[in-house]
Structure 1
Amino acid sequence: MDVKVKVIKTEVVTPNPPCHEHWLPFTNLDLLVPPIDTGSFLYYKKPFKHVHVAKMISDLKTSLSRALGLYYPLAGQIKANMGSELGIYCNNRGVVFIEAIADIELRELNFYEPDKNAGGKLMPERRRGVLAVQVTMLKCGGMVLACLYDHRVVDGYSVNLFTHSWANMTTLSRPPTLIPNFRRSDLNARRPRTYTPYVANMYIPLSNLRLPQTNSRSPYQDALKNQIYYIKGDQIKSLQGLASENGCPRSQMESVVSFLWKITASFLEDSGHLGYMCNLIIPMDGRRWLSDGEGIEKEKQIGARCGNVFSMPFIGIQSKDLKDMPLSKLANEVHELLESVSTKEHFKGLIDWVEDQRPKTLISRPLAENEKGASIMVTSGVKFLLKGNKDFGMGKPAFVSCYVPSARWDWHVMLLPSPVNENDWIVYMHLPKKHLNYIEAHASHLFKPLTAPYLNLVLNHCVARM
């Protein structure tokens, strides 16, 4: 159904206390992220307790101001210094905060096709600064909190840290126990710098990027769509069983990723893109590895690291070969890929290599070299996305989702935890429409369209007052 959203008020929330103005250089791992946006949605039912909406929104803005006092780069701007090196100008410019109302109930939202309401009308545009926020009250008394970030400043882990801290400061009226870490020295290159040929082959300068050709013979000819599914726990276990048939137990994540890789290859072959290289990219968080062997304090320090702290290993196999491989063989490839970067030396080497490329912004090689090839990126937020308090005065969220702007051309799948069953997963897909149709035609037993009934969204009768 068509959703009408009315903006009530737009203002700028600035940090309290303000930081001293300074320029914060991008770390070497920040330079691995091109200028793209990433977002998050938090959906709330109407709470059983009475909520005075005007006061709650006022509290949200007050706590956001205090949270920005800790996460001060989010209130800044991306700028180059005199040497043309990009970084964050921490100038307390603030965050655009939009208050809106929508003539729709939470249960009526199209969760399966978020572009039709959430992405199009409930997510703010980021026209200035690093972050934009929109709070939309629904006619049932529910609420949608949407945030859009410049990905060069934060990764998914950092978004979760910020959201958790902001929620704590809203409902508990106290600073978070985890203070964010923006120290650049944590990610400094070593002297002398050391890295392997493998690391040096992972990325190329963004200036080398060739945007995918959208001619009639290209798999990129379709505009990309966002669709959200759920996959039941027993189906995940079934895939895990197939992936482990060679006698080597494989994780649930490795098993689902292998299936997504395989069905992407099948899509390429069956849609006439014969002989294409089918690349799989798996972003891997490096916080655990960078603190490996350095004690509890170092672990806490890196665990509070706000910014981009990930590597993007990839593997490519011809789609015609990949299509016919048993899932267990693909799972072996995925396992070995993840093992190859699950070391402290890999992340240290990556930091060292980027130091030799500064101040260039870099991009994952398969995303840039896309002629006669297609790449699918699969990210997992299963372990961290639902951790921490996200109560902004409306109780626990009914659903938490990532958001990929429709304009982004990278094929991206995000694995998320289910809010209703700990064994199920939510699967957010940002793929060409024909690719999504192919998945539904060949794997509808696995991926079910996300619906309000699955999320247990029903009417309740408490009144929320403006």
Structure 2
Amino acid sequence: MGSGAGGVGSEQFIVSVSKREVVAAVLPLQEYWLPLSNLDLLLPPLDVGVFFCYKKNLHNLTFESMAGVLKKALAQVLVSHYAFAGELVPNSVGEPEILCNNRGVDFVEAFADVDLRDLNLYNPDDTIEGKLVPQKKHGVFAVQATELRCGGLVVACSFDHRVADAYSANMFLVSWAEVAQSKPISTPPSFRRSLLNPRRPGSIHPSLDDMYIPVTELPPPKDPEPDSDHLISRIYYITAEQLSRLQSLASAKGCRRTKLESFSAFLWKMVAKSAIAQNAEKKITKMGVVVDGRTRLTEGDEHKASLMGSYFGNVLSLPYGTEQVDELNEKSLEWVADKVHEFLEGAVTKEHFLGLIDWVEAHRPVSSVAKIYCNGSEDGPAFVVSSGQRFPASKVDFGWGMPGFGSYHFPWGGDAGYVMPMPSPTGNGDWVVYMHLLRGQVELIEAEASHVFKPLTSTYLHFD
């Protein structure tokens, strides 16, 4: 790849840490225990990464002064977002709870011997993982601010998924930027767990037993085959024109499918085609789509809608579909999009989320997990799509301008793939897509769908 895609050898740059400290909330906080909700308890211990790239600022701010702004604002925003300053500790029955003790956030300052335009964002395995996104070692939240050779800046965070979903993390990131600019916090967080209390008596739909499983019922993990494929991460962009084309192909009979349903259906067909190309013995493939329950749980109740709109925690479900590899490959995109719509339909209701809360309650204190995460690939290739269309990168402005690029980074460690489409920073309707899939799947997608999935380059992001 030429310099527009990151430059030859840009992956070889060295990151030197110059400072490590712990940033705690600026006000003393009363120590107390904050329980996780039933929906939080469905998450395994996973850390989620997110990063933002800033061009050299026009105000001639030094790296030290920008790091100072970040730390000062962080100490202030942790007063209201105190869960991110705490620690996860098991309670007497072994369930994790947040000890809100203002332990603080590990904050690393570093220098990377690379220019922003040479940062190969298409391959985050080489340039982001273990270099620019911090490995969280303590607490719930960690930050790394990295100065680039050109004067640019990367601000990256890792957070414990058991404490926050992407909606909550987005809320925090925007609040942090607002505080840095001395603005009031537009959405103060709510930790009101009673919003997600189980019903008495509970009511559980049998379909939930197909989606989630207590960890005690999981089969023992199998050792990977020595020559087996492995998951890799890549970032692409998809033009608005291609998205519209996929949507019209998926909506041929007048049933208009969403862009997310159309994109997911296209990707599912590609994964099925990859399985056939590799002569895989596995004949089945599964795809899950993450559903946020905040609007589903309110159903027209304006007061509850405003409470759920600021709720900080996980409000997610992970429905999935199972189809024959051959059928997905042979049928039209419209047929596949209908199948995606069908399995989503059952999970986008208030009753589904209330039932899921009740299902967890019935299995506590044994922890449970989404089936597609832990053994989704047992019968064949599996992956999950999580919409990042609310990703507010343009609002994460700490006072030196909007980021030129931002993305989640989530090589999540399950045996299923993970894909997150986000709005492109170009603001023209394009998408940027973080993909964590098997190498064989990525190779087939690049060979057969290069008109849709374009490798993310510095040229596209106007970093040149």
Q: TM-score range by the shorter chain?
A: over 0.9
Among candidates 110, 124, 129, match of residue 119 of structure 1: 129
* Structure 1 residue 174, shift from structure 2 partner: 4.0
The CA deviation at 1:345 is 1.2
Task: State the 1:50 CA deviation.
Answer: 2.7
Number of residues of Structure 1 aligned to a counterpart in Structure 2: 452
Structure 2 CA distance for aligned equivalents of residues 387 and 138 of structure 1? 19
Any gaps of 5 or more consecutive residues in structure 2? 1-9
Q: Distance in 1 between matches of 2:175 and 2:367?
A: 30
Matched to 1:417, the amino acid is P
Q: Share of identical aligned residues, percent?
A: 43
Instruction: Give the secondary structure class of the aligned counterpart of 2:200.
Output: coil
Which structure 1 residue ranges, 4+ long, deviate > 6 Å from structure 2?
A: none
Question: Do structure 1's residue 319 and structure 2's residue 329 form an aligned pair?
Answer: no
CA positional deviation for 1:393? 2.4
Instruction: After TM superposition, list the pairs within 5 Å mapping 1:282-361 onto structure 2.
Output: 282-295=289-302, 297-361=303-367
Number of the residue aligned with 1:462: none
CA deviation after TM superposition for structure 1 residue 387, in Å? 6.4
DSSP 3-state at the match of 1:12: strand
Structure 2 match to 1:418:
424
Q: Deviations over 1:193-230 (max 9, x none)?
A: 1121112331001344443652168xxx2232110001
> Structure 1: how far apart are the matches of 2:401 and 2:127?
23
- TM-score computed with the length of structure 1 as normaliser: 0.93
- Partner SS state of residue 51, structure 1: coil
Task: Write the distance in 2 (CA, Å) between the matches of 1:212 and 1:91.
Answer: 39
Asked if 1:178 is matched to 2:199, the reply is no
TM-score, length basis structure 2: 0.94
The answer for the alignment partner of 1:373 in structure 2 is: 380
The question of 1:92 aligning with 2:102 is answered: yes
Q: Provide Cα deviations, 1:319-354, integer angstroms capped at 9, x if missing partner.
A: 122211111111111112222111111111111111
Q: What SS does the aligned partner of 1:222 have?
A: coil
Aligned counterparts of 2:428 and 2:360: Cα–Cα separation in 1: 39
Residue deviations 1:371-424 (CA, integer Å, cap 9, x gap)? 222211011111x10266211122001111000137554310111110014321
Offset, 1:76: 1.2
Question: Quick check: 1:77–1:91 contact (8 Å CA) kept in 2?
Answer: yes
Determine the C-alpha separation between the residues in 1 that align with 2:30 and 2:285: 48
203, 209, 233: which one pairs with 1:200? 209
Shift of 1:95: 0.8
Q: Is 1:274 matched with 2:262?
A: no
1:5 to 15, 37, 41: 15
Conserved 8 A contact 2:381-2:416: no
For residues 443 and 174 of structure 2, the distance between their equivalents in structure 1, rounded to whole angstroms, comes to 36
1:46-72 deviation per Cα after TM superposition (whole angstroms, max 9, x unaligned):
122231332221121111011111111
Q: Give the whole-Å Cα distance in 1 for the aligned partners of 2:226 and 2:270.
A: 21
1:156 paired to 2:166: yes
Q: Distance in 2 between matches of 1:299 and 1:207?
A: 36
Contact 1:226 1:406 in 2 (8 A): no
Say which SS state the counterpart of residue 329 (structure 1) adopts: helix
Taking only aligned residues, the RMSD between alpha carbons, in angstroms, comes to: 1.6
Task: List runs of 5+ in structure 1 lacking aligned partners.
Answer: 459-466
Name the SS of the counterpart of 1:169 in structure 2: helix
- Residue pair 1:225, 1:406 contacting (<8 A) in 2 also: no
Cα-to-partner distance string for 1:111-156 (whole Å, 9 max, x where unaligned): 1001111223111111111111000011211100000111111111
Give the one of 126, 132, 144 matched to 2:142: 132
